[in-house]
């Protein structure tokens, strides 16, 4: 009788354990979408089971492909089985280390307090972040070549949990090699976003990999408020100055299209960007004669490519001397704001901190509206 009671108790114990495991993973209900207010290139769904579904909708301009990734909490990995054919990658989170391929990825990691997880980067000489440079100098972040021809052997030696890449198309032999070696590669399309807050919201893309969603929401909310408040201040301006942008390269004048990221900054700064009505979200390619016809009398020249001084511009082309903004010394550049190895801080940090960019522009275009603001990116040409 005692043996029978012990046996029944053992069976009840086993059933209880199985029931507990089953109840720890609730049945799937309607997925909860994470609020993405501005970014158009990705979406996040939270399943009741704890799985996060990350979709990259626009990995590169005019992309026909999209990518779907499943993020599984490590503590639940043993209880969840997914069909690998349904996902482009399945990742256990939080990840312990990561490789990224664009300087725009670094500020998000730094803001989330996860820079110490970065173990490799492509072309480290362009990194401007002081904290990241220190880790590069001490060998904690390895040099991995350049994105288009990533050193796959070096990446494989690191065995990262994740590689965050970017591409102008779906063809990248280095990424394909890594994926065949069971290293997940996830596309980041932050650079495709057209709006300043849209780019900044990609911090929410990184958050689920570290289980830092709450922190990312708080960080973005602060940036959003700072940006919106500055935009409201710009709307109180009594004048709307005309703005010229871009510069010549081999007899072609390249400048932002009317729907581009840069043009949207000028719009929110309450400026009259001369090419604001053009439909392009990228750049325009024009002759210098056509630019002169419509922009000769523009009051300001914002972003003259990589020029750092008036002397440098004049030496490059005498055509620049015909523009009033040049004559009146109202040309402003981000080219003089660089890191210790010469990397341009604007390209790295501006997507993450659009509020600083907007305040720079308001300070320049509407003197007096932000008298206490100290220019961060855009400064007068030397």
pLDDT for position 168? 83
Hey, which residues does 91 pair with through a beta bridge?
A: 71
The mean per-residue pLDDT over the stretch 13-22 comes to 35
pLDDT tens, residue by residue, 266-319 = 999 999 999 999 999 999 999 999 999 999 999 999 999 999 999 999 999 999
Contacts of residue 326, defined as CB under 8 A and 6 or more positions apart, other chains included, come to: 301, 310, 313, 320
pLDDT at site 78: 79
- pLDDT tens per residue, range 111-165: 999 999 999 999 999 999 999 999 999 999 999 998 778 999 999 999 999 999 9
Residue partners of 247: CB distance under 8 A and separation at least 6: 253, 254, 255, 304, 305, 307, 313, 320
Q: Which residues have CB under 8 Å from 198's CB, separation 6+? A: 38, 39, 40, 41
Q: What local confidence, expressed as pLDDT, does residue 14 receive? A: 33
- What was the pLDDT predicted at 293? 97
How would DSSP label each residue in 167-201? -SSS--HHHHHHHHTT--EEE--GGG--SHHHHHT
Q: Is the pTM of this model over 0.85?
A: yes
Look at strands 42-46 and 32-33 and give their pairing. antiparallel
Superfamily of segment(s) 235-380? Nitrogenase molybdenum iron protein domain (3.40.50.1980)
**How do residues 328-367 score in pLDDT, each as one tens digit?**
999 999 999 999 999 999 999 999 999 999 999 999 999 9
The CATH number that domain 32-223 falls under is: 3.40.50.1980
Phi, psi (rounded to 5 degrees) for 159:
50, 60
Question: Would the CATH topology of 32-223 be identical to that of 235-380?
Answer: yes
Q: For residues 64 and 224, what is the distance between their CA atoms, to the nearest angstrom?
A: 30
Query: Domain-by-domain residue ranges, the chain?
Result: 32-223, 235-380
């Amino acid at each position: 009788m005692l043996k029978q009671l012990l046996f029944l108790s053992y069976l009840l114990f086993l059933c209880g354990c199985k029931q507990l495991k089953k109840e720890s993973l609730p049945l799937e209900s309607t997925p909860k979408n994470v609020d993405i207010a501005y970014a158009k290139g990705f979406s996040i769904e939270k399943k009741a089971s704890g799985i996060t579904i990350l979709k990259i909708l626009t990995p590169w301009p005019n992309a026909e492909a999209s990518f779907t990734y499943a993020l599984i909490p490590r503590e639940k990995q043993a209880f969840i089985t997914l069909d690998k054919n349904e996902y482009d990658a399945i990742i256990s989170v939080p990840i312990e280390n990561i490789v990224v391929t664009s300087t725009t990825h670094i500020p998000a990691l730094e803001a989330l307090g996860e820079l110490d997880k970065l173990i490799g980067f492509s072309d480290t000489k362009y990194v401007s972040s002081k904290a990241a440079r220190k880790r590069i100098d001490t060998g904690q972040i390895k040099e991995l070549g350049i994105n288009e021809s990533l050193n796959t052997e070096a990446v494989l030696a690191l065995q990262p949990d994740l590689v965050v890449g970017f591409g102008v198309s779906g063809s990248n032999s280095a990424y394909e090699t890594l994926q065949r070696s069971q290293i997940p590669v996830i596309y980041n399309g932050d650079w495709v976003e057209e709006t300043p807050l849209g780019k900044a919201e990609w911090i929410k893309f990184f958050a689920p990999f570290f289980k830092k969603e709450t922190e990312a929401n708080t960080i973005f909310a602060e940036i959003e408020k700072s940006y919106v408040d500055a935009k409201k201040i710009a709307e109180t301006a009594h004048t709307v100055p005309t703005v010229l942008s871009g510069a010549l390269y081999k007899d072609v004048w390249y400048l932002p299209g009317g729907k581009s990221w840069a043009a949207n900054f000028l719009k929110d700064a309450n400026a009259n960007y001369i090419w604001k009505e053009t439909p392009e979200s990228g750049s325009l390619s024009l002759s210098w004669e056509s630019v002169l016809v419509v922009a000769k009398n523009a009051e300001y020249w914002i972003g003259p490519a990589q020029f750092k001084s008036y002397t440098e511009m004049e030496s490059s082309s005498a055509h620049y001397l015909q523009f009033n903004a040049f004559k009146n010394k109202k040309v402003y550049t981000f080219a003089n704001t660089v890191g210790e190895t010469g990397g341009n801080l604007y390209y790295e940090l501006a997507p993450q901190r659009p509020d600083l960019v907007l305040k720079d522009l308001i300070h320049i275009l509407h003197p007096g509206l932000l008298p206490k603001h100290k220019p961060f990116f855009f400064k007068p040409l030397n």
